[in-house]
Amino acid sequence: MRPMARNIHHEGAGPSQRQLRVGELIRRALSDALMRGDLHDPELDRTSITVGEVRMSPDLRHATVFVMPLGGGDVQAVIKALARNHGELRRAVTKAVTLKYAPDLRFRADESYDRMDETRRLLALDEVRRDLESPD
C-alpha cells in the first residue's frame, strides 16, 4: 500500500473558506436549536449555552463545537448533556444545513473567554501599560 501523498501547499495553512462557511452555518443551526429548546433535556432547558465556534475537519465529516454555559456554569455538565443529545442535535444540523454527510459533533469547552480575560489582566499590569504608552 502506497503512503498517502500530502499536499505541501496547504501544510500549516488555516481552515479553508468552505470549512469556515460550513462551521458558521452549523454554529447558527446549533445555537438556534438550543435557543428554541428543541431538545427534551431538562438540564439543557434550564441552561443558556453559547456556541462560540465550530471547527470543521477538512472532509467536513467532523465538527468540533466549542461551547460555554452563559454565566459560567458547570461546563463539563453541559458538555455531557450535549453529548447525551448528540443524535437530536445532529438531526437539527442536518435539517438546517444541506451537506453530503451529516457531520459528527464533538463538544469541547470554549476557553477563548478565559484567554481574553487573561489578556486583559496582563494588559492592565502597570509594567505593560507603561511599556505600551512609552514613545519608542
Q: Could you tell me the residue ranges of all domains in the chain?
A: 17-110
Query: What is the reported pLDDT for 8?
Result: 44
Long-range contacts of 68-72 (CB under 8 A, 24+ apart): 68/109, 68/110, 68/113
In angstroms, the CA 75 to CA 50 distance is 11
In angstroms, the CA 48 to CA 81 distance is 13
10-30: average pLDDT: 86
With cell 428543541, the residue in question is: 38
> In the chain, what is the straight-line distance between the N-terminal and C-terminal CA atoms, in Å?
59
List strands edge to edge, sheet with 49-56.
Answer: 49-56, 62-69, 104-109
Average pLDDT, the chain: 82
Residue 73's CB: how many other CB atoms inside 10 A? 14
Percent of the chain whose predicted confidence (pLDDT) is above 90: 38
Q: Which helix (DSSP H) or strand (DSSP E) does residue 116 occupy?
A: helix 112-124
Q: Is pLDDT at 70 greater than 50 in this prediction?
A: yes
17-38: average pLDDT: 91
Structural fold of domain 17-110: GMP Synthetase; Chain A, domain 3 (3.30.300)
Query: What is the reported pLDDT for 10?
Result: 52
Residue 32's CB: how many other CB atoms inside 10 A? 13
Beta-bridge partners for 105: 63
DSSP annotation of 23 reads H
> Which residue did the predictor score with more confidence, 123 or 4?
123
Band the pLDDT of 9: cuts 50, 70, 90: very low
The CA R_g of the chain, rounded to the nearest whole Å, is 19
Q: Is pLDDT at 7 greater than 50 in this prediction?
A: no
Query: What is the reported pLDDT for 28?
Result: 95
Query: What is the reported pLDDT for 56?
Result: 94
Residue 66's CB: how many other CB atoms inside 10 A? 18
